Amino acid sequence: MELRVAGAQLPVTNDVATNLQAIVRAIDFAAAEHAEILLTPEGSLSGYTPHFDTEEVTNALEQVLEKAKSAKVGLALGTCFVEPKDGLCYNQIRFYSPKGVYLGFHSKTLTCGTMTEPSFGEINDYTVQPLQTYTFQKIPVGGLICNDLWANPSCTPKPDPHLTHQLAERGVRVLFHAVNGGRDGSSLSAVHWHFHESNLRLRTRASKLWTVTVDNCLPLDLPCSAPSGVLNPEGEWVVQAPPIGEQFFAHTLEISLETG
């Protein structure tokens, strides 16, 4: 089977209106490329923060969905969101079909925190739901958010549950990975880049699935914390975006649904 995917390496700010404009640009690109689904970075609509205006984000989400449905582009949309069903805040990838049908959300599972007890950081800001899988255009897909994939030992107070492998064991053939990593241009930032890329390649290869990944590109004059692009089931880049600034890409995946 084939699945045409698009990815958007976007500048993620704490201004919802600015983020909305960036996502609209990405949808226009995806539609022009005849992509069936678009991936955006972690927190790309709300900002990477639990402190946002819930009504403003909800209204912006409605605009994104109207735009994507009109363009016939499905979404793997990174945003923080307060779920009406329980009133709790989740760091999500929200999945929608090209017809605008809501498929569900992945919540960031390896939320970052300190190694102290009790742990401090976003581990106290976001709620976590059990790992989910989804069917998009008859293809089993899944989502992971940033640290979910690489379990950075400097900010992972929980044991590494190897979520990529768990998704593969559940039959997922395409992984959508939304990232919002920090960077400051230091030598340590370069270490993070290599750590992130190595984990992307090795875990993709070990799990034998396709990985589509995008990062936040702010600050615009510094390389991202991780590569944006598409990895094939052998862990090789078939598309990799330039590491600085807003970038878009599209690629057609050749997917085998056979297992074993």
* Cα–Cα distance measured from residue 214 to residue 176, given in angstroms and rounded to the nearest whole number: 9
245 belongs to a structural domain: yes
Q: Residue 259's pLDDT is what?
A: 55
Residue by residue, pLDDT tens for the chain (260 residues) are 999 999 999 999 999 999 999 999 999 999 999 999 999 999 999 999 999 999 999 999 999 999 999 999 999 999 999 999 999 999 999 999 999 999 999 999 999 999 999 999 999 999 999 999 999 999 999 999 999 999 999 999 999 999 999 999 999 999 999 999 988 888 889 999 999 999 999 999 999 999 999 999 999 999 999 999 999 999 999 999 999 999 999 999 999 887 54
259 belongs to a structural domain: no
Q: Cβ(88)–Cβ(82) under 8 Å?
A: yes
- Strands 237-240 and 229-231 turn out to be antiparallel
260 belongs to a structural domain: no
Which among 192, 110, 175, 191 is positioned nearest to 140, based on CA atoms? Answer: 175
How many separate domains does the chain show? 1
106 belongs to a structural domain: yes
CATH of the domain at 50: 3.60.110.10
125 belongs to a structural domain: yes
107 belongs to a structural domain: yes
SS3 51: coil
Q: Residue 260's pLDDT is what?
A: 47
72 belongs to a structural domain: yes
Q: Residue 183's pLDDT is what?
A: 87
Q: What is the domain extent for residue 42?
A: 2-254
134 belongs to a structural domain: yes
Q: Residue 132's pLDDT is what?
A: 97
